[in-house]
Structure 1
Amino acid sequence: MLKRVLFACFSLLLMSSQYGFAAPKQVLKVVTSDINFPYNFVKDQRVQGLSVDVAQELAARLGMRLEIEVLPWTRALHTAQTQASVMLFTVAKTAAREKNYYWIGPVTRSEEWLYKLKRRTEIKIGTLDDARDYLVGDEANNASIPMFTRLGIKVDTAPSMQSNCRKLKMGRVDLIPFDPDGVEEFAKSCELGMNDIEKTVQVPRDSALYFAFGKSTPPDLISRVNAAFASMVKDKSLQKISKMWKEDAQKK
């Protein structure tokens, strides 16, 4: 009986080798938000962006299959923090967040500026202090909110940046923060053009953006991801991906 079982197992292994059967790849699960141009966004019913391309290359180097779930930003942060082996992007490191995640990166860098509608000529912004006279619309749990609070700038939060854009368009908020590299595509999400909006002042914050895993993630996976990421930095794959997306955004 034992001989027959061993023979059957050997036969299955032989067939797998002969016909190219292989065990399914492990999944690298990612959670992210829907509008964060040019880092991660949904277009043509698929998730695209600089961070997506970096994650695809990371997964390939790990021998894994990338699986991305788009969630409201607050839920994405919570999911990655509380579930093991779930990667989050694209995220800024803050004092409040730092202890809750393992950090991979920096993956890229991002400026943030306050934008207003051009037709709102009554809004006068020469310095960041002037923003105290107005209402800033921001995505819930965005990294810039604590800084606005410290500066005494009033913030009205929304579940997504698309909701923020609609609020700006309707005059329900006066200013919104966004990255100049992606603001044109962002404006399109609520049917605004570059002629409809105006850049005012830069938001002073750490420009580094990261991937992150919750602390319940096995250290072995973190080590493997860090090693794969280091190899991308070393062979300049990371730089090439970033340059492609940044230059494309700046041409628009």
Structure 2
Amino acid sequence: MKRIFFALALSFPAIAQAEPLKLLTEEYPPYNFTSNGAITGASVEQVRLMMKAIDAPFELEILPWARAFARAKNEDSTCVFTTGHDDERDKRFKWIEPLLIDKMVMVRKAGSGIDPLTIEAAKRFTIGTQRDDFSYSFLTANEFPKIDLAADMEATLKKLLNNRIDLMMTSEKTFEAMKAQGKGVEPALVLGGKRYGLACNLSVPDALIGKMQKALEDLIADGTQDRISADYGLRPNR
């Protein structure tokens, strides 16, 4: 009987091997970006610590946002971050949050004089963002007529600084990081606050989602999240 059991065990060596969770993100400093060939950022550091705490295998990859977002919707064992959580996205994913709590802001090129006082006034201008970005959902939901889409935030910023668009949408904390880096941008219109986190395919087991959520809550409770935010020049999540 012992020999039979041993033979069966050898026949199924992969059963005990957990499939790595695919964690996808985009170039969107200071939350997730490539530096000297390595993926880093305020959100990336939190995610690495979460996965280490629960001892779960994962693969991390940077892609254009639209591709990363689509894969998380359609592929098993896949999550995307740092993802804004709104009503439209709520039921399409399982969520671990908050990696970030922040406001959205419309940003203008410094000295441009573009000064919309309301959302309705901003509709006169061409607004830049990224396909499937949270801000794109906001713009389409509010029926903005002139939306310019780019592959990533850096491309949108270049369009703004080269006068190819009038305004761009980003998070308030990202805007503050841009200012600290000497980018020639100014706030034009501050919008409402939102939560951001990991959006996971509905196939990801609830037990794993629960462990990841608990690991994130531990990072928040012991001050690690605030320390990481400070390391990247960001205000704490409050």
**TM-score normalised per structure 1:** 0.77
Q: CA deviation at 1:134?
A: 0.7
Unpaired segments ≥5 residues, structure 1: 10-22
2:198 is the alignment partner of 1:211? yes
Would the aligned equivalents of 2:24 and 2:63 in 1 still touch at CA under 8 Å?
yes
1:113 aligns with 105
CA deviations over 1:64-98 (Å, ceiling 9, x no partner): 34421111111111111222222211001122211
What amino acid maps onto 1:130 in structure 2?
Answer: A
Deviation at 1:127, TM superposition (A): 3.1
- Deviation of 1:176 after TM superposition, in Å, equals 0.4
**3-state DSSP of counterpart to 2:129:** strand
Q: 1:26 to 1:150 in 2, by over 3 A?
A: closer
1:123-202 → structure 2 map (5 Å cutoff): 123-153=114-144, 154-183=146-175, 186=178, 193-194=182-183, 196-202=184-190
CA distance in 2, matches of 1:107, 1:249: 12
Q: Which portions of structure 1, spanning 4 or more consecutive aligned residues, are displaced by more than 6 angstroms?
A: 23-26
Counterparts of 2:149 and 2:122, CA distance in 1:
16
Point out the structure with the larger helix share. 1
Q: Partner of 2:116: helix, strand, or coil?
A: coil
1:32 corresponding residue in structure 2: 25
| Aligned twin of 1:241 | 228
Q: Is the 8 A contact 1:37 1:183 kept in 2?
A: no
Q: How far, CA to CA, are the matches of 2:84 and 2:139 in structure 1?
A: 15
Confirm or deny that 1:45 pairs with 2:33.
Answer: no
Q: Which residue of 2 aligns with 1:18?
A: none
| Percent identity over paired residues | 24
The answer on whether the counterparts of 1:102 and 1:213 sit within 8 Å (CA) in structure 2 is yes
Local SS of the residue matching 2:204: coil
Larger Rg: 1
Structure 1 segment 64-143 matched on structure 2, within 5 A: 64-121=56-113, 123-143=114-134
The answer as to whether partners of 2:30 and 2:41 remain within 8 angstroms in 1 is: yes
How has the CA–CA distance of structure 1 residues 152 and 227 changed in structure 2, closer, same or farther, with 3 Å as cutoff? closer
SS in structure 1 opposite 2:115?
coil
- Measured after TM superposition, the shift of residue 224 of structure 1 is 2.3
Distance 1:58 1:221 in 2: 11
SS at match of 2:30: coil
Cα drift, residue 226 of structure 1 = 2.5
SS in 1 for 2:123: helix
CA contact (8 A) 1:128 1:202 kept: no
Q: How many residues align?
A: 225
**Residue of structure 2 equivalent to 1:58:** 50
